[in-house]
Structure 1
Amino acid sequence: MPAGLAALALGGFGIGLTEFVILGLLPEVAADFRVTIPQAGYLVSGYALSVAVGGVLVTAGTAHLRPKRVLVGLMVLFVIGNLLSAIAETYSAMMVGRVVAALCHGAFFGIGSVLAASLVPPQRKAQAISIMFLGLTLANVLGVPLGTLLGQGLGWRSTFWTITAIGVVALLGLLAFIPDRTADARPPGQLRRELAAFRDGQVWLSILVTVFGFGAMFGAFTYIAPILTQVTGLPDGAIPWMLVLFGVGLFAGNLAGGRAADRDLDRTLLTLLGSLTVVLVGFALVVGNPWAAGIALFLLGAVGFASVPGMQMRVLEFASAAPTLASGVNISAFNTGNAIGAWLGGVTIAAGYGYRSPIVVGAALAVVALAVMALAAASHRRLAQRQATAPLTSSTTAH
């Protein structure tokens, strides 16, 4: 594995940790700031929306700069944001820290995805992207459970101080291992040509699959700590271990999903989104049983995150004329889905439907994602068939 991929995964680990660790600490954060659980959940939505906006604007605004310098600058921003979160005295100050840290997220993974794909042979691009996203899975396997355990024992601020330190280490890794390449040339009108790539309907259908597919997983997972304590009946001390199960599922699913997407992209996404729907429906039905809930949580991580490399690769495939901008837009789409899922889950809880309702919200979003993917795959298949028969028709006519 190229050392550059390892450096990207390290940066992804730090960013993934700051995004996900708060999910296991929502009760502690809510109690400290004297807000409700749904209000604390908006710290997740606020982060995700900032990623959605920053992923597009920052990626487009820095495309003319050297990728390494951009990644280093983004990691500095990440460290500052987590430092602000660690010292926040009010809910509003905490939100500011989350927003600042989130601004680096989309551009980091957007630029990093293109760079990762360029470091390996063409037939291994999806696998390379999955390795870069491996940092996210390791953040869930190791970082989130340990961060939750640390936050429960020493206070949630200790977790964010630790994340700040990890960000510094990740920054050193980027400086040491990322090649300092020149930026891609951008002749006059290049941005306009990049935007023209979004005229392809398949690009927008792929982005919608990302929004609803990732939103499905986070509709359920955002409120996993109160779900497991209030519905499943587990003690607070069991939450980190349940998060380990979810993280192991992410790790396995991410690697398997990258390999499967390289073989058959559309079929892989259809299979995974259908499986995600089934898993979420099953999770809603068995969440009251600790053992069954643990199995469902593992499957949610495995199936939900196995689709991530394919979702990213599909957008890159249909927007090949603008890979960096398209990659950044799709990273924004992941976090738009995250925000939608977290917001809808909070709305149903606040409306009095209980902590089981976010899982039902996730299942509904998965159905929408599956329907959009089926439409996209059918449209792509029809276009491919027309293109395949066109040369034969022309040849016959000429003869």
Structure 2
Amino acid sequence: MPFPLYLLAVAVFAMGTSEFMLAGLLPAIAADLGVPVGTAGLLTSAFAAGMVAGAPLAAALTRRWPRRSSLLGFVLAFAAAHLVGAVTGSFPVLLVTRVVAAVANAGFLAVALTTAAALVAADRKGRALAVLLSGTTVATIAGVPGGAALGTLLGWRAAFWAVAALCLPAAAGILAGIPARRAAADGADGAGRPALRAELAQLARPRLVLVMLLGALVNAATFGGFTFLAPVVTGTAGLAEWWVPVVLMLFGGGSLAGVTVAGRLSDRRPGSVIMVGGPLLLAGWPALALLAGLPAALLVLVFVQGTLSFALGGTLIARVLYEAADAPTMAGSYATAALNVGAAAGPVVAAATLDSAAGPAGPLWASGVLVAIVLLLAVLFRRVISATPAPARVIRSAPGAHPG
């Protein structure tokens, strides 16, 4: 694989760390800025909302922009947002910086996904995207727990400084390794690229809307439970704060396993992944809520839920890309937007349960309800989920792949 792909993966690692690390920092941020933990959870929703709006907008705008300049601009904007967040004492300002960072993240991914596909031969695009998106998986395993550990040791602001610092080598790598050539204009390059209007018209297709909805619901369940794991660890399980990064690392390890499973099975047997993994995921969230007071059970179930959540989510991402194969430059933004609708809604739904009788385990029960809705819809529309696309459509969808 070309070395520039790994440079892009560094930036994706920084952005993925920022997106997920708040799960381990929410109690400290809430205490420092004088807001409830549930309110602090809106920081995750704000980031997801920025991704929802930023992904399709940036994908459309950057169809004509020079790739290297676009990537560099988005990385620097992302870093600047974290610098402001690290020094502010205002929760509303911090909330705004999360939106700005998310839009920059969405813009970067929109360009990086296309750039990764263009750096390799047509038959190696999938592998190129895997290298790029490995940054997100590594972030859940190392970056997120590292951010949580840094926040515990030096305060939550140190984690924001660290993310900003990670952007600097990524920016230097973009300047050094990404070719300075302009992306082709829409439909004007003779490459058969559809016009933007034609790509946007794909959103009127019921099959595409359905798989986007399912992906959003799974991600809502994942983020709803993941965002509030820290209170479960320190409250329900009664463990010390240092256990929070351990639990987050286990969830990250599960996410890697889940993505691997999805990568091997989702192309040809998506229905099997959903119909087998879905019920297990549904059973896992209540089990985690009921057994969270037992540290050993908590550690095992967090890994299992990370695996199942990402296996199911990864499979649904593939379905979105297949159904949006006639929108080759926008398909990735559709998947990103759909999944981040879930990331925005999940913590809001989960936060509403914190004051219920379930206490810190409330978000876990909410995640179970969301997965139940997914399975109900999957059963009702199982023919759509199980349909296997033609090989030509798989190739066309590859440039827009995204993990969620």
Compute the displacement of 1:200 (Å).
Answer: 2.2
Compute the displacement of 1:303 (Å).
Answer: 1.7
Q: TM-score scaled by structure 1?
A: 0.89
Compute the displacement of 1:165 (Å).
Answer: 0.2
Letter in 2 for 1:230: G
Compute the displacement of 1:7 (Å).
Answer: 2.6
Post-superposition Cα deviations, 1:328-379, rounded to whole Å, max 9, x if no partner, equal 1221221110111100011111345411110011111112223334444413
Letter in 1 for 2:142: L
* Counterpart in the other structure of 1:210: 215
**Alignment counterpart, residue 286 of structure 1, candidates 282, 291, 300:** 291
Asked whether 1:186 is paired with 2:191, we answer no
Matched residue SS, 1:355: helix
**Alignment counterpart, residue 241 of structure 2, candidates 236, 256, 280:** 236
**CA distance in structure 2 between the partners assigned to 1:177 and 1:9 by the alignment:** 12
Pairing of 1:169-180 with structure 2 (within 5 A):
169-180=169-180
Matched residue SS, 1:356: helix
**Alignment counterpart, residue 302 of structure 1, candidates 300, 307, 320:** 307
**CA distance in structure 2 between the partners assigned to 1:144 and 1:72 by the alignment:** 23
**CA distance in structure 1 between the partners assigned to 2:355 and 2:130 by the alignment:** 36
Q: 1:10 to 1:44 in 2, by over 3 A?
A: same
Task: Tell me if the contact between 1:41 and 1:342 (Cα under 8 Å) persists in the aligned partners.
Answer: yes
**CA distance in structure 2 between the partners assigned to 1:332 and 1:324 by the alignment:** 14
Letter in 1 for 2:144: V
Q: 1:192 to 1:181 in 2, by over 3 A?
A: same
Q: TM-score scaled by structure 2?
A: 0.88
Letter in 2 for 1:93: V
* Counterpart in the other structure of 1:164: 164
* Counterpart in the other structure of 2:397: none
Compute the displacement of 1:271 (Å).
Answer: 3.5
* Counterpart in the other structure of 2:22: 22
Letter in 2 for 1:71: L
* Counterpart in the other structure of 1:91: 91
Asked whether 1:349 is paired with 2:347, we answer no
Compute the displacement of 1:322 (Å).
Answer: 1.3
**CA distance in structure 2 between the partners assigned to 1:211 and 1:103 by the alignment:** 18
**CA distance in structure 2 between the partners assigned to 1:3 and 1:107 by the alignment:** 21
**Alignment counterpart, residue 370 of structure 2, candidates 365, 374, 379:** 365
Q: 1:383 to 1:46 in 2, by over 3 A?
A: closer
Q: CA RMSD in A?
A: 2.5
* Counterpart in the other structure of 1:81: 81
**CA distance in structure 2 between the partners assigned to 1:266 and 1:216 by the alignment:** 19
Matched residue SS, 2:24: helix
Pairing of 1:1-399 with structure 2 (within 5 A):
1-117=1-117, 128-187=128-187, 190-351=195-356, 353-379=358-384
Compute the displacement of 1:61 (Å).
Answer: 1.9
Matched residue SS, 1:297: helix
**CA distance in structure 2 between the partners assigned to 1:53 and 1:69 by the alignment:** 21
**CA distance in structure 2 between the partners assigned to 1:143 and 1:118 by the alignment:** 28
Task: Tell me if the contact between 1:210 and 1:311 (Cα under 8 Å) persists in the aligned partners.
Answer: yes
* Counterpart in the other structure of 1:394: none
Compute the displacement of 1:381 (Å).
Answer: 5.8
Q: 1:118 to 1:285 in 2, by over 3 A?
A: farther
Matched residue SS, 2:316: helix
Which segment drifts farther, 368-377 or 220-229? 368-377
**CA distance in structure 1 between the partners assigned to 2:362 and 2:145 by the alignment:** 24
Q: Percent identity?
A: 33
Aligned residues: 385
Matched residue SS, 1:236: coil
**CA distance in structure 2 between the partners assigned to 1:50 and 1:329 by the alignment:** 14
**CA distance in structure 2 between the partners assigned to 1:122 and 1:267 by the alignment:** 29
Give the structure with the higher percent helix. Answer: 1
Q: 1:187 to 1:323 in 2, by over 3 A?
A: closer
Task: Tell me if the contact between 2:58 and 2:110 (Cα under 8 Å) persists in the aligned partners.
Answer: no
Task: Tell me if the contact between 1:312 and 1:327 (Cα under 8 Å) persists in the aligned partners.
Answer: no
Compute the displacement of 1:383 (Å).
Answer: 10
**CA distance in structure 1 between the partners assigned to 2:318 and 2:111 by the alignment:** 13
Letter in 1 for 2:309: G
**Which protein is bigger by CA-based radius of gyration?**
1
Compute the displacement of 1:174 (Å).
Answer: 2.6
Matched residue SS, 1:349: coil
Letter in 2 for 1:330: A
**CA distance in structure 1 between the partners assigned to 2:221 and 2:114 by the alignment:** 26
Task: Tell me if the contact between 1:127 and 1:259 (Cα under 8 Å) persists in the aligned partners.
Answer: no
Letter in 2 for 1:350: D
Compute the displacement of 1:122 (Å).
Answer: 6.4
Q: Which runs of 5+ in 2 are unaligned?
A: 189-193, 390-404
Q: 1:18 to 1:83 in 2, by over 3 A?
A: same
Post-superposition Cα deviations, 1:197-228, rounded to whole Å, max 9, x if no partner, equal 22322211121121001111111111110111
**CA distance in structure 1 between the partners assigned to 2:365 and 2:314 by the alignment:** 25
Q: 1:301 to 1:124 in 2, by over 3 A?
A: farther
Q: Which runs of 5+ in 1 are unaligned?
A: 385-399
**CA distance in structure 2 between the partners assigned to 1:299 and 1:329 by the alignment:** 28
* Counterpart in the other structure of 1:392: none
* Counterpart in the other structure of 2:396: none
Compute the displacement of 1:125 (Å).
Answer: 5.1
